[in-house]
A and B are shown apart, each in its own frame.
Chain A
Amino acid sequence: MQAVKTIRSRTVVMATTDIDTDQIIPARFLTTTSREGLGQFLFNDLRRHADGRDRPDFVLNSAAARDCHVLVAGNNFGCGSSREHAPWALLDYGLKAVISTEIADIFRNNALKNGFIPVVVDRKTHDYLLANPGVDVTIDIEQETLTIGDDRVIEFPIDGFSRFCLLNGIDQLGYIRQQASAIERFEENRPWRP
């Protein structure tokens, strides 16, 4: 994973609550054995009609959404299936972070492992962001802050270990493998064997 330190972008807003991973990437696009190229299917069934034409009323199809890297979404973003294809598709499309009042557990885990940043904010901040699509924001991973415009600074929590890995581009598998002797000891000494 590449290091991620700050993200600066205008926002694009999808106010819908409970956007599940089936909406982020429908199951029929999961018959792949690679993690590349999934951006073309991101939000497919919201983005396109059944015949493949774009839906002009879908926010990512608007001119204003072009080059936006930060998605503001309704409460409980990323619920449902554990498919890591969801953050892969978001990243491949060019999005780098999502801001919401609540982000589902497995999605958040998957996102952080791929450098896609889940930002959880309070309701007041969220309401402001929902009401002001296109506002400039800066997400600073090191400081754990979201800056809206030039001066409105909100703190948001990131798990310390994930933050460290993001800032340094650290691969978590390498970290677990460093504990190989502890794993061996555990296997030898446990009172029962699975």
Chain B
Amino acid sequence: MTNKKTLFEKVWDEHVVVEETADTPAILYIDLHIIHEVTTPQAFSLLRAKGLPVRRPDLVLATMDHSTPTTPIASFKDLEIAGNGAAMQVRQMEANCREFGIELLGFESAERGIVHVIGPELGATQPGKTIVCGDSHTSTHGAFGALAFGIGTTEVGHVLATQCLLQRRPKTLAIDVAGRLGRGVGAKDLVLGIIGKIGVNGGTGHVIEYRGDAIKSLGMDARMTVCNMSIEAGARAGMIAPDDTTYEYLRNRSRAPQGEDWDVALRRWRQLYTDDGATFDKSVKIDASKLTPMVTFGTHPGMVIGIDEPVPDRSSDPSFRKALNYMQVEAGKPMTQTSVDVVFLGSCTNSRLSDLQEAASILQGQRIAPGVRMLVVPGSQQIKKAAEALGLDRVFLEAGAEWREAGCSMCIGMNGDTVGQGKLSVSTSNRNFEGRQGMGARTVLASPMTAAASAICGTVADPRPFLESK
């Protein structure tokens, strides 16, 4: 028996309230519970029915993002959101938070935004914490060395009532990424490359730890992009050991520890790494320097190729044939011949300031192709403000794109922002499932730079030529 531990094991072990046995799962303590309007109403109803309070309202971070409109108006107050259902859901969220004593970053809040964007932005997401949310992309927060994963609504109720969760200990998967990403190749291309390699179920039952030089050289925004899509490889969570990049990001954020508490926290955080000699259940190696910009061609994120590669031919597989048929793409041809109707820059994968900056660097002084609609939706109201201070909104507007309020928007199409039946979208979000961006929508997942280049060309396009002249 060795006492060498992986990063995941250190965080897990610190949060076990009752050990797991053959007959019962562990009871795990949760340090931060993030909630939004779509996956919580039934959980609050359960509490109400049982007459239970929220155990630790101080450990809940609440906002609204999925059903909220992104139209640029000053106040959302009297807005009928995207139909009665969405409006009701938002009103219910306000009522639930009021009744149970939870602070809500609602419509009037300058800190409102996508759950997985605001947690880190406010400094609430911290190394070594356990973080859950009724949302599968909770894996995003693992970029800080937190153990963060998505849960269902019944479990949201469990955490609200007890601050704990029943969990079986997952297995561990190390993904070692060597080398460096080339110019015009970003974190999104890296994670799409990883999913392409291990498959959409390659991580099932596991927590991934991303390691290696390529990961260490990434900034926090990029690390979040990588961890965000861990769930797209089927993993429970993705983690990256915290380092100076992490600490510099968190320093002085409003909900991060301050003063002496900061020094104490920092000493603790510095212990959060995988010990030499600790073992993983599985491991995979990737060479970042071999990656090119990546685009999906099918109806899940594992159906992905390099921008110069032809769509593969697996016509003997009926699910594969069905996907190509839905996407209206042909085997043997590259995606760069596909014409584009809509470009979406946003979502918890790629809506942070550096994502907007990367896209803007391509769009600067350019116009998007006639007939293309481009929607730019910052991940939070704070990002929106920061981008406007840098003049990025001007770059997008002058290129012919729309500049919106923060929210999930076209990533999930719940708020009325949808792509349109049969239309093709190049999207910086994380899911290209059939109908994900609205009924009949065909989605090509790509990086912010690839999305920007595609908007200019009107076809799926390689961003690298746009960088050469800069």
- Chain A residues at the B interface, C-beta cutoff of 8 Å: 15-18, 20, 22-23, 26-28, 30-35, 45, 50, 74-76, 79-84, 102, 104-106, 109-110, 113-114, 159-161, 164, 172-173, 175-177, 179-180, 182-183, 186-187, 190, 192, 194
Contact = CB atoms under 8 A, between A and B. Distances in A.
Contacts, number: 180
Given A33-B92, A172-B166, A15 B318 contact: yes
B123 interface: no
Interface string B80-99: 00110110110010000000
Contacts of B42: 33-35, 84
A126 to B, nearest CB: 14
Contacts of A22: 431, 433-436
Best-buried of A23, A75, A106 by chain B (most CB within 10 Å): A106
A45 B434 contact: yes
B153 interface: yes
A20 B231 CA distance: 12
B17 interface: yes
Contacts of A186: 17, 29
Contacts of B82: 31
Contacts of B31: 194
A183 B163 contact: yes
B151 A106 contact: yes
A27 B412 contact: yes
A110 B319 contact: no
Contacts of B50: 173
A31 B439 CA distance: 16
Contacts of B23: 160-161, 164
Interface centre among A35, A102, A109, A175 (most CB of B within 10 A): A109
B268 interface: yes
Interface string B233-259: 010100000000000000000000000
A150 to B, nearest CB: 31
A32 B89 contact: yes
10 contacts: A76-B200, A80-B231, A82-B134, A84-B39, A160-B22, A172-B154, A172-B158, A187-B29, A190-B29, A194-B129
Interface of B: 14, 17-18, 22-25, 27, 29, 31-32, 38-39, 41-42, 45-46, 50, 59, 66-67, 82-83, 85-86, 88-89, 92, 126, 129, 134-136, 150-155, 157-158, 161-164, 166, 168, 200-201, 204-205, 231, 234, 236, 264-265, 268, 299-300, 318-319, 322, 412-414, 421, 431, 433-436, 438-440
B41 A33 contact: yes
Contact of B59 (A84, A164, A173, A194): A194
Nearest to A20: B433
B23 to A, nearest CB: 5
Contacts of A179: 17-18, 27, 164
A36 to B, nearest CB: 10
B414 A23 contact: no
A159 B152 contact: no
Nearest to A186: B17
A81 B204 CA distance: 14
B84 to A, nearest CB: 8
Contacts of B319: 15-18, 74
Contacts of A45: 434-435, 439-440
A12 B136 CA distance: 28
A79 B152 contact: no
A114 B154 contact: yes
Given A104-B201, A161-B166, 12 more contacts: A18-B300, A30-B66, A32-B41, A45-B439, A75-B201, A82-B134, A106-B150, A114-B154, A160-B23, A176-B162, A194-B32, A194-B126
Contacts of B22: 160
A177 B205 CA distance: 26
A164 B21 CA distance: 14
Given A31-B83, A113-B152, A175-B166, A106 B88 contact: no
A81 B150 CA distance: 9
A159 B25 contact: yes
B414 A27 contact: yes
A16 B234 contact: no
Nearest to B317: A17
